[in-house]
Amino acid sequence: MVDPHTGARTNLLRMKGPKVAGVYHQLIDERMVKILHGREKKVYAWTVDDVDSMMRMLHMRADAIVTSNPTLLQRTMQDKRTQCLEEGFSLTR
């Protein structure tokens, strides 16, 4: 993985021991989540403090969202849950 701002490279996908990858939320995309989940690693997105980014992480199936505003995250998650139920979607797997 290459940080687009600094150009720094990491071996995030090659690390064998860790079961969790904490990643700055703007670097997370669907491909990264799919690959990490395929390697049985959890994706923790940090620090997500705005509604649009929270929704993006929810849609990408981040396993955890680290935020400085938990009330906003709870409200965002509840709003998404309500929307899904109103549209007839089940929330169980």
Rounded to 5°, the CA angle 93-29-87 comes to: 40
Compute the distance between CA of residue 79 and CA of residue 73 in angstroms, rounded to an integer: 10
Instruction: Give percent of the chain with pLDDT exceeding 90.
Output: 75
Stated pTM of the model: 0.80
- On whether residue 54 sits in a domain, the answer given is yes
> How does DSSP classify residue 65?
E
Give me the sheet containing 64-65, strands edge to edge.
20-24, 42-46, 64-65
Q: Looking at the 3D structure of the chain, how many domains does it have?
A: 1
Domain of 80 in residue numbering reads as 20-86
Compute the distance between CA of residue 24 and CA of residue 47 in angstroms, rounded to an integer: 7
- On whether residue 92 sits in a domain, the answer given is no
Could you report the per-residue pLDDT of 33-49, keeping only the tens digit for each?
999 999 999 999 999 99
Q: Which residues in the chain show pLDDT less than 70?
A: 1-4, 9-15, 93
